[in-house]
Structure 1
Amino acid sequence: MEISVNRLSPDKLKKRPADESKLGFGDIFSDHMFMMDYEAGKGWINPRIEPYGPLSIDPAAMAIHYGQQIFEGLKAYRGREDGVYLFRPRENFERMNRSALRLCMPEIPIEEAMAGMKSLVLLDREWIPRSPGTSLYIRPTMFATEPHLGVRPARSYLFYVIIGPVGAYYKEGLNPVKIYVEDRYVRAARGGTGEAKTAGNYAASLLAAEKAKEKGFTQVLWLDAAERKYVEEVGTMNMFFVIDDEVLTAPLDGSILPGVTRDSVLRIVRDWGLKVTERALAIDEVVAAAKSGRLKEAFGTGTAAVISPVGQITFKGEDHIVAGGKMGTLSQRLYDEIVGIQYGEREDRYGWLERID
């Protein structure tokens, strides 16, 4: 498919942020966006780059009423030799298609979608920040546009990509965060949509997250829906624990998101020769390890934060300090390795990095 480009005139371009230390996350967007439409019987049509702006949708659009909406998150980096780099982008689009299938939505043509995304990034490449720790966040999204009231899969959809410069996801940056173990509310259950990246999963997490923030915590650590016993994931991250000399994380059993950064961490630590186990891990086991000093580190992984060290875990009103409240050795080593690969500064032994300029 040929991509049409409606480029803004120079006098209508937005003013880019002057101080990259104040970027924050998710509030600033570039000048253009990539879009394409799906119609039953026609497939994907009309790939285009348009000026960034509001979307016009029917009040009866089925996404609004029945929740057919999925999205992804990845980044572009301004790295070595001023190049523009992407980190494992195909895995994000493959995961988006798995989310689409779970919600009875059409799969996107990956090659065309990636071509549109790359064209958009390169068109707005001046929005890619240059300061250490900054990047260009990329948000592919798809939702049902057919105007119809009645529960069934929609027959028309919009896929689009927006981009914008970002700094650290958490205000703490690389300083350890405090997480609250939620044992009342649940985010997702096996057999549900927990492994899909869909808006409803995040909506279901908001109440517990807000209550946790009121108590001074950065994030919620979710337990399994059936028994409220086994740790699953944090609201925006997969979770890892280092107990003795073993790196532990929850298995992909249908209720947690299969994170790209999670997979990257697993592959790296195994190559480093560390003992790695994906298994059900009870919160009581984590607490016991913390009390005995066997819990050496805990950290979250995700595109937004990469590696987020955990300095405190609170469960049933009891605080458990992890790694002395500081960033652990493995957390720091993983952060340095992954970020080094992403910016083209370290050897990419896995073929994860793609330079697009």
Structure 2
Amino acid sequence: MSGAKLLTEKWPVLGRHKQAAVWLQIWADLGRAPRTIDAYARGLTEYLQLCERDDIDPVTANRAHIAIYVRELTSRPHRRGANVVAIDSGSGLSNATIQQRLVPVRLFYDFLIEEGLRASNPVGRGRYTPGRRAGVQQRGLVPRLTKLPWIPSEQQWLRILEVARSEPVRNRVMLALAYDAALRREELCSLRTDDVDPAHRTLRIRAETTKNRLERVVPYSASTGVLLSQYLTHRAQVSRARGPLFLSESRRNHGQPLSLWTWSKVVRRIALASGVERLSTHTTRHLCLTDLARIGWEVHTIAAFAGHRHTDSTLQYIHLSGRELADKLARGMEHIHAWRIQALTSIDGTETDR
């Protein structure tokens, strides 16, 4: 059974709209990651449910109908309620989440235009011209807020480490690798035994596990290598089979690959126990890249290490580290200081001459 078929069973509204089901199947056939397909299906489902509720034909919907959907997104209470850390929209859904919800709707209308079922995209930022990559750029429906990634303070990090020390060796080495190699959650949980090269202390991050399908090789430190060696000895007691590096040790899934959700629960538990509730599976990656910027790594080197296709994503860590601003301030202050000293000494000399 195809991934798109499974999604239409999970969200029946997609099956009631032929074009939506076809659009999803095309993305699945093009080899998009299952999580991407799932996110597209979820976002389009919410929009189609609103269309059915308000008796709107999604094929002929206009900008006013999209505005109704945006209004609902900006006023919808978040399902996590009081657990939400940052509420950008003022009601519940963050600005980034709202932007994410609009992506599949915009892509769906691009598809309808390509199929000749529409002349324009009610979500698009510019006019759609077949065969052209971009049209006339206009302001987006929802202002995009660009925030720097959150990283813990030194005190918060020490509290996190204090709690992490009592974790099993598997969780400790995963936390160490997540920081040391700036790994995303899926990259970390998808590591296999043959991805590790202890002789050179490197990890191979396979293309199929990365966000942008770029394979890379990253180093890890000697201290992390010691912890990894301890874990490999422990892992042999769970399973001697080669394959996924990190295994579940629960009764129900003993010896099975550790799931993304299990790792998320581990990090969430550490966050609550340490009192640093903003800690997430991505925090260690943000912290590592910011630290690399702080110690003077060049932007292209950080981009290669992080697996960024473009340096635009990398620049936020340079900004977060404050390195360039600090350097400019230091150079500026040095010049000002030298000028003041020179001025003072010349005044002093003039007075002496008199």
Normalised by the length of structure 1, the TM-score is 0.29
Higher relative contact order (CA 8 A, sep 6+): 1
Q: Which is strand-richer, 1 or 2?
A: 1
Q: Tell which structure's C-alpha radius of gyration is larger.
A: 2
